[in-house]
Amino acid sequence: MTNGCNDQRFETLLHAYELGFLSEDERAELEMHMLDCSSCFEKAQRLAPTMQLIKSDPEVREAVDSLDSDESTVPSDTIGIPEMRARRSLWRKLMPTSIAAAAVLALLVFKPWKVQISTDEAVAQENRLAVMYFENLVDEADSSHLGEIATNLLITDLSESRFIQVVSSQHLHDLLKLIGNEDVKIVDKDIATQIARKARAKWILTGKILQSSPGFVVTAQIVDVSSGNAVASQRVTGAKEDDIFAVVDKLTTEVKNDLSLPADAMGEMDPSVADVTTHSAEAYRHYLDGLELRRKFYSPEAAASFQKALEYDSTFAMAWYHLAKLIDRNLVDRAVQYADKVGRKEQYYIRSLKALIDQDTEQAMALLQELVRHFPDEKTALLDLGRLYNQIGDNSEAIEVFHRAVEIDPTYKEAFNLLAYTYQGYGKLDSALMAINRYIDLAPDEPNPYDSRGDIYRAEKMFDEAIESYQQALRIAPDFNATRYKLGPLLMIRGDFDLADSCFQWMADSPRKVTRSGARVYLALPHIGRGHLNQAIEILDDGIAADRLEQSGGWNSVLKYYLKALCYLEQGRNSDAIDAVDSCFSVHDRDSPLDMQCFRGLYTYTLAETGQVARSAESTLVFETFLDTNGIVLEPYYFARGALALITGDKRTTVADLQKSADWVEWKNDFFPAYFLARALLEDGQTEEAAEQFENLLDNGTIWQAFLEIWNLRSRLYLAAAYEKLGRYDDARTQCEYVLERWSDADPDLAIVEDARERLARLAQRP
């Protein structure tokens, strides 16, 4: 029995929380509190089933909708906010001081409740069973994992019934972790009861393996959680030829008989557990090893275990599924091929992943929604579903789903990570930081939460805070290069080119070939940032030669040629720029022939800018051929046409096409379409719109910022031109001074520097 909460305010919020009345910020605050307050957590768990029935009742929803239709009842702070939040704010205001609200509350109190769900689902919700780890008395160390195999097979077999809701092995593991028993296999009665209550289970099933040879002997006992009394016990003696799969099948039948399920439960299809997993105990053992390694984020080791499982059973569908998620998404086809050999839950996982890979987002979401309806403990499915909501831009639904995931597992680091990013994208920085700091509390010695916090600060243009958070990640794990790719560009924005160079130099010494190849791109960036273009070109040439020697490069080679082209353009070396951009797309098309990157639009622009207008126009045919074949409109198509029109002076086409391109990729924060649109707006006389567009481009904190130093300085000069037209002379001078200070030590005779000097001299004559 836990003590009461010492903060009465949180206890009073619990009912509103379970009904979904709270705002996102209130909900986040309460959930963070519940992670530390076992009293509120247990009360929320007890309230959840009843509140779910109330929330789903049509009469209550209709009553609330009638209130919602009265605009005067909606708090003023919800006007203009999405419908979901407004309704929650309204529900939160349902207090007896309002006659209409009192009527709703009366309905809640006096309504004769009836469950509005199907019979088998209602029975399953009532009949919730937690299967604890089987003790292997033959081998107390369980070196062959026989106890673990028996436990997981029984959970899988019983989960095939539509009349029992079995707590998943993942959820049991999470609950054990929550109370500090993560690595404990065999638990005593008190811990088992505690876990079962947190899982809202009606029964606990414990078991022992008494004998494995010449035949298996397994016993089990079902205990009622509320009373602590044994309900029934089972003993299965297998024939000499029976393997563990056959013994589990027999035990499943006995357990279902002893649970007093409806008669229909005994008549439902009950396939052999081997037919919905594998017929190989060795394959299953390696599969369980793989799941455990995935839980600990040891992805390469997990993949090796799944591959080992397939050596024993090449038709093991779920092993293929996990390999598809870990190393090669195309392997999902092998999982689909053997999908008739898995259970209901696994079918949903396999087919949703296949739909996702086939870019059928609607089907993937529908399958995941069905999965969590039938198996509400599946936090992984909720995480995948939340990612899909993010993908379609539905942040409010994503937040809802991620919250459900952390309700299941309050230590779910991945969910807190995604929740933080989603809140930030939704404009809720305080909630984002609350979520990411919870992730840090859960994993203070891991680099990723600090890296994620840096991302959130960076997106908010809080660059000093972002740099500090990234540096904290690297203090924990100096080889966490994902952070270096982001820290270096931020240091360059701040003008710390030496620090940025040392950041990238670390990657150049990496034992991994692909990391070294990437470093050879980034090492050129601080030199471009100073205007040392000749030195940058030398570094890029050395990098290209090293890539050839190591047989690496790929996308990194594309970037090297791209940067060379930009340097050559700025130096006025048009022929060299064309050669570099040709090499850029020669590598690009060889490695990714169907990838319509925005660089292809840049290719069109480069050709036009250097006088190759005919070739530039011809390059757009690549898009037209692709469109004819696939019927898909791509933003690089509009970008290419708009960039060509900008150079050739076709103003009718320029703004329209570039606007389509910029709108299409707005969510990506893509620089190039926005940059060329701003230029087109400026030339079209839409000066204020152009100035706003250029302002949004500057110092946005993206990784690409470091690759865009030349374009950023050009943007500042165009912005100065816009300010001058608008009569904002001081602002125009500031932009020119920034350019001259940034490239104060640049190579001689660079056009940007000369343009800035000339414009600043002209502005000096202005008042």
More confidently predicted of 553 and 145: 145
pLDDT of residue 239: 92
pLDDT at 456 over 60: yes
pLDDT at 26 over 70: no
Percent of the chain having pLDDT more than 90?
A: 44
pLDDT at 344 over 70: yes
CATH 3.40.190.120 fits 119-274, yes or no: no
Weakest-pLDDT range from 74-83, 184-193, 470-479:
74-83
Are 283-465 and 512-595 the same fold in CATH? yes
Query: What is the DSSP-derived secondary structure letter of residue 243?
Result: -
Pick the CATH number of 283-465 from 3.30.1490.190, 3.10.20.30, 3.10.450.50, 1.25.40.10: 1.25.40.10
> Mean of the pLDDT values across residues 368-382?
92
Nearest partner of 671 among 649, 693, 642, judged by Cα: 693
CB hemisphere CA count around 677 (13 angstroms)? 27
Q: In this structure, how many other beta carbons lie within 10 angstroms of the beta carbon of residue 173?
A: 17
Weakest-pLDDT range from 195-204, 382-391, 451-460:
195-204
pLDDT at 61 over 50: no
More confidently predicted of 526 and 73: 526
Instruction: Give pLDDT tens digits for 647-686.
Output: 887 766 778 777 776 665 444 446 777 888 888 889 889 9
pLDDT of residue 8: 63
DSSP letters for 296-343 = TT-HHHHHHHHHHHHHH-TT-HHHHHHHHHHT-GGGHHHHHHTGGGS-
Q: In whole angstroms, how far apart are CA 526 and each of 483, 523, 536, 559?
A: 17, 7, 8, 15
Helices (H), 392-512: 395-408, 413-425, 429-442, 448-459, 463-476, 481-493, 497-508
Crossing angle for the helix pair 671-683 and 599-609, to the nearest 10 degrees = 40
Range among 105-119, 551-565, 713-727 with highest mean pLDDT value: 713-727
* List of residues 6+ apart from 502 with CB closer than 8 A: none
Query: What is the DSSP-derived secondary structure letter of residue 138?
Result: S
Average pLDDT value for the chain: 81
Judge if the upstream peptide bond of residue 526 is cis by omega within 30 degrees of 0.
no
pLDDT of residue 111: 41
Domain assignments of the chain as residue spans, ordered by start: 8-110, 119-274, 283-465, 512-595
Q: Is residue 29 very low, low, confident or very high in pLDDT (cuts 50, 70, 90)?
A: low
Question: Model pTM greater than 0.75?
Answer: no
Q: Measured at the alpha carbon of residue 139, what is the angle toward residues 136 and 140, in degrees to the nearest 5?
A: 70
Q: Are strands 217-224 and 165-166 parallel, antiparallel or unpaired?
A: unpaired
Nearest partner of 201 among 225, 229, 170, 232, judged by Cα: 225
Q: In whole angstroms, how far apart are CA 614 and each of 588, 609, 611, 649?
A: 22, 11, 9, 15
Please tell me the distance from the alpha carbon of residue 196 to that of residue 222, in angstroms, as a whole number.
12
Domain 512-595: top CATH class: mainly alpha
Q: Is residue 216 very low, low, confident or very high in pLDDT (cuts 50, 70, 90)?
A: very high
**C-beta separation of 402 from 382 below 8 A:** yes
**C-beta separation of 224 from 202 below 8 A:** yes
Q: Is residue 370 very low, low, confident or very high in pLDDT (cuts 50, 70, 90)?
A: very high
